[in-house]
Structure 1
Amino acid sequence: TVPEDAGVNSNDLKEIDDIINEGIAKKAAPGMVVLVAKDGKVIYNKAFGYHTYDNLQVDKVTDIFDLASVTKTTATTPSVMRLVEQQKLKLDTNVGYYIAKARNSPMNKINVREVMLHQAGFIPYIPFHNYVKEGDYSRDSSAAYPTKVADNYYIKKGFFDDFMWPKMLNSPIKTRGSYVYSDISMYVMQDIVEHISEMPEDRYVQENFYVPLGMQTAGYLPRNRFPKNRIVPTEDDKVFRKTLLEGYVHDQGAALRGGVAGHAGLFGTANDLAIYNQMLLNKGTYGGEQYFTPQTVEMFTSKQSNVSRRGLGFDRWDPDLTKKYPSELASPQTFGHTGYTGIGVWADPSRNMVYVILTNRVHPGVSEMLGRLNIRPRIQDVVNRAIDKTKK
């Protein structure tokens, strides 16, 4: 469709191209894809730049990106929403009720709601890759080293169950009641989801959401399903995996977990994310199918904390206007999430708009330019202004 189909003037979106080209020229990322939908119609969908700075492979709108923490809102949170709707999971029940191994740990008494709000008091993250020692990994797979972390990197059997998981379970609870964003919260939710549903999270989301929604590329472990050249590479990891990451998750903890984790590991295209967020904007319905009740979507995506801006799992507009988060003109209804690899996904019910930006700003190494140049919020505000013009 053309922007005019949704009442938006194409010329008002031209500035998006300039901002992206500036970002690529200043090495914020080698390539970017931006998609905008208004009233359920795609009004902007373009790819810029290349997979890498060698300028060999052009970015396409169908390219698959490492979505990093957008996994939290696109895999783990909908799984939680579904189990809450089915009354198999209760937000005000304690973690130990669902996780036997947590019963003798500091997190036993924490309730699920606190975990979803990042108020459980967990430390933000544990740099598990710093604990990997000689003998823990191998360059070849075998019965002793079955878990693929990246190309030519396999971690020993039981590394997650015997080392990572106990370390998380026994971490001290330090800031309970305050908002401290933590990856550990989503490892915990993954374990709960997998216990209740009796299947691994990657299969659960595939069967319950991605396949029925027509999200054709979304999912974990994309190298098992797609050719390498469709997947945009992330970091050329010189320290831990000593290889270019192509279709293996950038997040070190998720990688050591075998690529399927509650906080990271999901890959997908801009179109996949647009479908999922359109379903949320539609209050749980898409293509004639109901995935959630409007009440469930409303509850998880609206502000649910009295100490932070957050919803349940979802990040939101920040009422502290000096933060201009996620962007200066974002409405108070805006919900979504960002991802460390250079991802932004936001839905604004007041404008009936979905905005997706996918980049690989961590290639070849982590660049802070995307944030410094405010690329993500500036594009969002071009869209906001273009849509607001139509209201006048």
Structure 2
Amino acid sequence: MLRFYAVFVYIYFRNLIVMNQLSIKSFGLVLFFLLNAGVMSAQYKQTVVNKTQLLFNKNHMIPVGRLDEIKIAVVTPNPEKYKTFIQQIGRYSDIVSFDFSKFDEDTKYFNTIIVGGMESDLNQEMLYMLKQSLVNRKNIILCRFQDVGKNLPQWSPLLGGRIAELGYPSFSDVAQRNMAMSIFGGLAITEGNISNRTEQTRLQYTQGEGSGLNIAKMAQKIDLIANEAIREKAAPGMVVMAVKNGQVLFEKAYGTHTYEKTIPTVISDIFDLASVSKIAGTTPVIMHLQEKGVINLDSTMGHYLWQAKGSNKADITLRTVLLHEAGFAPYIPFYRSLKPGDIQKTYSDTHQTKLADNAYLINHYYRDVMWPEMLKSSVKPIGEYVYSDISMYVMKEVAEHETAIPMDEYVQQILYRPIGMKTAGYNPREHFDKRQIVPTEHDTSFRKVLLEGYVHDQGAAMAGGVAGHAGLFSTANDLAIYGQLLLNRGEYGGVRYFKPETVDMFTSKQSKTSRRGLGFDRADPNPKNEYPSRLANISVFGHTGYTGTCIWIDPKNQLTYIFLSNRVHPQVSNKLSDLSIRGRMLDAIYETINEAK
């Protein structure tokens, strides 16, 4: 379809040239757009047969849009029987699951109730319960699976009101999976009444089904590389994920949290992302503020920050900061300047910044010591690329001064909660069980404890766990959602969060002296450097993290690749890079794609 329109538009504009109504230069711009249209826009490709039908869709509830506006309870007659359905819904949103035994009380504090069941399991009393929920102004999404040889009664006309109803002509794990994905736009609904058909708007969890790619061969290659990494002690465990055309091709966990092998790594584990925080935490905040006109990237640090006005950084523009061309020092080891008494083992009125288990920093150390030291630090000539963590400390300060909201809460408001990034955030020990968070280094010099759910980066820890350059934790799935948002050029779940031109500007090459975009790293244009991998192309953007993480996004192939590990456990090791584990896995994915062409 895209090619058809491209040809049509090409002929139209060519005729305008013939009639002297369009310049050759303008035509060149049109032609460039046409040639790159497939690269610049998301290309969801549904290769899975989805037999779900949307029978009734009051207020266009399906597919579900913003997730921060709803609180979901999933109710089934038997949670064990409908386990696949419940778990698949949980990939998209925070949910709580109940049966019908205490329906009224259990669902009281939820505004959206997803009910799933076979006709033989859903009785008249349950119908009356749903009617009451409608009276209580709740949204009902009724999902009915057909018993073999039976026709389901049409309940929707009886219920009316705030309800959507979906049906599936059978009951199985596949039926449950597809029904759940259909609710959230993970699968397009292509069956039934044409007016009730939908498009894919979110990730599709079908493991490459129907993709035409040899997933088994690709998995075998990745397995060998992962096993090598663990055997060579490049990292005790890892999670690898690949998404193409909005479809999850590969998602697998390897190894264990530590070399003691007591806790196996699972795909839902939360990792310290290190410098991936720069592009998945701070940069989307800056993108949002820039396109809303709150900040101007060509204005200076002195314009936005009072304390910077009298410094040697007053006239440095935000654009220069984002490009790592501001001449900042690469890194300041603040923890080496701590004095006796600055850290103690117990919480007190004077020591409230928690660095790790049994480690508390004296109050306001970031405000009174770290930030002033950054502002006073030396600056080299502007324009040369020098990768610096200070750059993102600066951008966080700018964002918080302009919004009057802590950055960790602001990014939740504008992005994470609306699109369903359920685990992404800072200071995860405040929200998640320790066993769900993969530990990093056994810190023997600073905090003197195994870091479990506390940021590895010393400066970020001393800043309270929230910094512009580090501090973000996430699962692979949440990063995949973010990657798809960027491939969609700012849209996800049927809702636009960024203008396409904003995503294009930040992720494309913006520097005259380096490969960098604004905040984002990019593939090295010199193929000899094989960065981020031997087969990566120049459209690729993303970032790596010191703890052994990366996300690379490839618009040309509509691909997102994620690798999460704790290569710094129990002590920092360079074997992950020496063995090129991340790059070789990405090449295994590219080889699979290229073989199918």
TM tier relative to shorter chain: over 0.9
- Aligned equivalents of 2:393, 2:210: Cα separation in 1: 42
Partner residue of 1:3 out of 201, 204, 208: 208
Which of 558, 561, 565 aligns to 1:359? It is: 565
SS of the aligned residue for 1:347 comes to: strand
Q: Partner of 2:409 in structure 1?
A: 203
Number of residue equivalences: 391
Residue pair 2:237, 2:258 contacting (<8 A) in 1 also: yes
Given residue 299 of structure 2, which amino acid in structure 1 is its aligned partner? T
CA distance, structure 2, for counterparts of residue 84 and residue 208 of structure 1:
13
* Residue 207 of structure 1, CA deviation: 1.1
CA offset digits 1:62-112 (Å, max 9, x no partner) = 000000000000010000000001001101001110010000111110000
**In the alignment, is residue 15 of structure 1 matched against residue 249 of structure 2?**
no
2:395 alignment counterpart: 189
Q: Report the AA paired with residue 112 of structure 1.
A: L
Q: Which residue of structure 2 aligns with residue 96 of structure 1?
A: 302
Quote the residue 2:121 is aligned against: none
Distance apart, 1:2 and its partner CA = 2.8
**Structure 1 SS opposite 2:243:** strand
Cα offset, 1:142, TM superposition:
1.3
Backbone CA RMSD of aligned residues = 0.7
How big is the shift at 1:138?
A: 1.2
Distance 2:319 2:499 in 1: 19
Once the 2 structures are TM-superposed, how far is the Cα of residue 175 of structure 1 from its aligned partner?
Answer: 3.8
Gaps of 5+ in 1: none
1:106 paired with 2:312, answer yes
CA distance in structure 2 between the aligned counterparts of 1:76 and 1:299, rounded to whole angstroms? 16
Aligned to 2:480: 274
Is residue 253–residue 265 contact of structure 2 (8 Å, CA) maintained in 1?
yes
Instruction: State the one-letter code of the partner of 1:99.
Output: L
Structure 1 window deviating more from structure 2 (167-176 vs 72-81): it is 167-176
Q: Say whether residues 1:314 and 2:506 are aligned partners.
A: no
Aligned to 1:45: 251
- 1:158 shift after superposition: 1.6
Which of 215, 219, 228 is 2:421 aligned to? 215
Does the 8 Å CA contact 1:6/1:39 hold for their aligned counterparts? no
CA distance in 1, matches of 2:543, 2:481: 15
Q: Which residue identity does 2:259 align to in structure 1?
A: Y
Query: 1:323 is matched with which residue?
Result: 529
Structure 2 counterpart of 1:264: 470
Deviation at 1:12, TM superposition (A): 3.1
Aligned position for 2:362: 156
Q: TM-score, normalised by structure 2?
A: 0.65
Contiguous gaps of at least 5 residues in structure 2: 1-205
1:240 equivalenced with 2:450 (yes/no)? no
The secondary structure found in structure 1 opposite 2:517 is: coil
- Who is 2:349 aligned against? 143
The more displaced of 275-284 and 315-324 is 315-324
> Offset at 1:10?
1.4
Report the counterpart of residue 324 of structure 2 in structure 1. 118
Distance 1:22 1:107 in 2: 46
| Alpha-carbon distance in 1 for matches of 2:382, 2:488 | 34
Alpha-carbon displacement from aligned partner over 1:132-152 (angstroms, at most 9, x marks no partner):
121111111111111111111
2:386 is aligned to 180
TM-superposition CA deviations, 1:105-129 (whole Å, max 9, x none): 1111000000000000000010001
Residue type at the aligned position of 1:31: G
Q: Is residue 341–residue 362 contact of structure 1 (8 Å, CA) maintained in 2?
A: yes
Q: Deviations over 1:362-381 (max 9, x none)?
A: 00000111000000000001
Separation (CA, whole Å) in 2 of partners of 1:135 and 1:289: 50
Whether the 8 Å contact between 1:274 and 1:354 is mirrored in structure 2 is yes
For residue 69 of structure 1, give the secondary structure of its aligned residue in structure 2: helix
Equivalent in 207, 216, 233 of residue 27 of structure 1:
233
Name the residue aligned to 2:432: 226
Letter paired with 1:224: E
Q: Distance in 2 between matches of 1:133 and 1:366?
A: 25
Q: Deviations over 1:260-280 (max 9, x none)?
A: 000000000000000001000
**Partner SS state of residue 322, structure 1:** helix
Matched residues in 2 for 1:363 and 1:142: separation?
30
Whole-Å separation in 1 of the counterparts to 2:243 and 2:212 = 12
**Alpha-carbon distance, 1:252 to partner:** 0.3
Partners of 1:342 and 1:360 within 8 A in 2: yes
Q: Deviations for 1:188-211, whole angstroms, at most 9, x for unmatched residues?
A: 000001111110010001111110
* Structure of higher RCO (CA pairs closer than 8 Å, 6+ residues apart): 1
Residue range with higher mean Cα deviation, 178-187 or 137-146: 137-146
The offset of 1:11, in angstroms, is 2.8
Q: Deviations over 1:237-294 (max 9, x none)?
A: 0000000000000000000001000000000000000000100001100010101011
Secondary structure at 1:135 match in 2: coil
SS at match of 1:6: coil
d(CA) in 2 for partners of 1:382, 1:175: 41
| 3-state SS in 2 of match to 1:239 | coil
Shift of 1:320: 1.7
Measured against aligned partners, the alpha-carbon deviations of 1:287-321 in whole angstroms (never above 9, x if no partner) come to 10101011000000000000000000000011122
TM-score, normalising length from structure 1? 0.99
Does the 8 A contact of 2:207 with 2:251 survive in 1? no
Contact map agreement 1:12 1:382 (CA 8 A) in 2: no
Structure 2: distance between partners of 1:2 and 1:218: 23
